[in-house]
Chain A
Amino acid sequence: MSIDIQGLINPVVRDIPPSGIRKFFDIAAEMDDAISLGVGEPDFVTPWHIRDEGIYSLEKGMTYYTSNSGLKELRFELSKYMKRRFSLDYDPLTQLLITVGGSEAIDLCIRSVICNGDEVLIPEPSFVCYSPITRLAGGVPVPIVTKAENNFKLTAEELKAAITPKTRVLVLPFPNNPTGAIMNEEDLWEIAEVLRGTNIIVLSDEIYAELTYGDKKHFSIAQIPDMYERTVLVSGFSKAYAMTGWRLGYACGHPDLIKAMTKVHQFAIMSAPTTAQYAAIEALRNGDDDIEMMKNEYDMRRRVIVQGFNDMGLECFEPKGAFYAFPSIKSTGLTSNDFCERCLREKKVAVIPGTAFGQSGEGFIRCSYAYSIDSINEALSRIEAFVKTLK
């Protein structure tokens, strides 16, 4: 009798459901002329000057580990960047940690804070990682359903209703994947009012901060003076600088929290990729114009896709951040899953069902606009043709 491998898998891991995002890609991959609005990463290549610095660091032989916390030079640049772009002060030596993507920073934060039975509040729909990471840490994910009529913002009332004595962490995933919702300064002051006097850490996932559209700049809850201390701000280079494959992110926060997270990081990861760190120094020093260029490009596509969905009768709320549109497909009478499956089989367009981001995503689909305008137009006309067949 051979060993029972399946029986040895941690039940928490075994019970994590398969990703609802991958499923449609796998079908699309088998089709010749399928077109996708599924991918959640920039279509831009990392700007050349940034790639060039990475290459140059290799030429110079900078192939060693960096310190656990990340290159000092990078942390100093990051500190200046946080000040310049978001008016936030972080001490580069004690308050910043360089991680393998924003994802690792999320994992570190939750693992450093959560014990058995602790509750993590997760606004949904949202990025898929918070809940499995919480479970793996022995915690209990508590979804808070955000609503279309509130522009998918988290409201103070919803938050208040979800807090229990066991609540340890509130995840604030804004700008949001998949809805494109943002929380502006006034919204966050209301959230702060609820959090005051509690023992709740805010895990603010601001990976899309630089992709905030409209006349107001991104505002972080850490900018509210008495929220600064309790907030772990997590972000990375992937979305702002189109550096997804470099796998580089960071966490900013209270020295004690960063110290705890660094402990976990040093045993799990050691240090983030060295080449990526050198490239990132260049990104922070000379990449502001790149951010602006890419943001303008996304912004134009954003208007085209939102207009397109509204024109074909799929009501689409205006996303103010990230690069996703989240139109409602309720008028078609189909479930999100059926809509996506049929759209792919009948018109060969891959979009992601809202339910991949939590049950509250039912009735919506996520469409990324990190695609060329031609692809977006082609996808829109196919989706429109599909919607017409339903009438």
Chain B
Amino acid sequence: MPELSYDKKIEKVLELLHKDCRKSLEEMATMLDIPMTEVADIIDKLEKDGVIIGYGARINWDKAYSQNTVTAYIELRVTPQRNKGFDRIAERIYQFPEVKAINLMSGSYDFGITVEGKNIKEVSLFVSEHLAPMESIVGTATHFVLKRYKYDGVICCKPSKDEREVISL
């Protein structure tokens, strides 16, 4: 196998970790055919450079026992601040622990944010009491997630059964 370029190695390591961050260094080394120490060095660098900012499980909350979580996707329209643009507003919004994700968007609204709460009331109160009153925010539109089909590249309710039948091959 031709030696992978450094960039390619980084890409491959990231792909593997993104798919399954519990994969051992040893297994990644075998899969990519590079030494284990090099995999470790690459991951170290990626962590230091802030490319990898954390490790976590993808959870299908709909199936989590007794766990009640509602997710809302909220469109925010804002007035950018002089000299600070959108960043200053984003910084204020992402401080709230209820806010799980925030992105500056192109198109008809400015920020798209993901908010989680125990129930619809809790999320609604968060929007009306904390988000909407912020002075730079000129409008909000809240959409509650009804059912999650696919999340971060993974299909949530896919049967894991092997459908391949017996064949003489």
- A residues near B (Cβ < 8 Å) are 19, 21-22, 25-26, 29, 36, 39-41, 43, 127-128, 177, 213-215, 300-301, 303-304, 307, 373, 377
Contact = CB atoms under 8 A, between A and B. Distances in A.
Contact of A21 (B1, B162, B164, B168): B168
Nearest to A215: B2
B27 A304 contact: yes
Contact of A41 (B30, B31, B32, B169): B169
A304 B167 contact: no
A300 B32 contact: yes
A19 B168 contact: yes
Contacts of A40: 167, 169
B168 A128 contact: yes
A41 B168 contact: no
Given A21-B167, A301-B31, A377-B27, 16 more contacts: A21-B169, A22-B166, A22-B168, A26-B166, A29-B166, A39-B162, A39-B164, A40-B167, A41-B167, A41-B169, A127-B169, A177-B169, A215-B2, A303-B30, A307-B30, A373-B31
Interface string B18-51: 0000000001001111000000000000000000
Interface in B155-169: 162, 164, 166-169
Contact of B1 (A43, A127, A214, A304): A214
A110 B145 CA distance: 59
A304 B32 CA distance: 9
Which of B30, B167, B168: most chain A Cβ within 10 A? B168
B114 to A, nearest CB: 26
Contacts of A127: 169
A25 B166 contact: yes
The contact size tier of chain B is: 10 to 19
Contacts of B169: 21, 39-41, 127-128, 177
Contacts of B164: 39, 41, 43
B162 A43 contact: yes
11 contacts: A19-B168, A21-B169, A22-B166, A39-B162, A39-B167, A40-B167, A43-B162, A215-B1, A215-B2, A307-B30, A373-B27
Nearest to A297: B31
Nearest to B31: A300
Contacts of A25: 166
A124 B31 CA distance: 30
A303 B166 contact: no
Nearest to A302: B31
Nearest to B32: A300
A39 B150 CA distance: 28
Nearest to A127: B169
B30 A213 contact: no
A39 B169 CA distance: 7
User: Which 7 residue pairs are nearest across A and B when measured between Cβ atoms?
Assistant: A19-B168, A40-B169, A300-B31, A25-B166, A215-B2, A307-B30, A39-B164
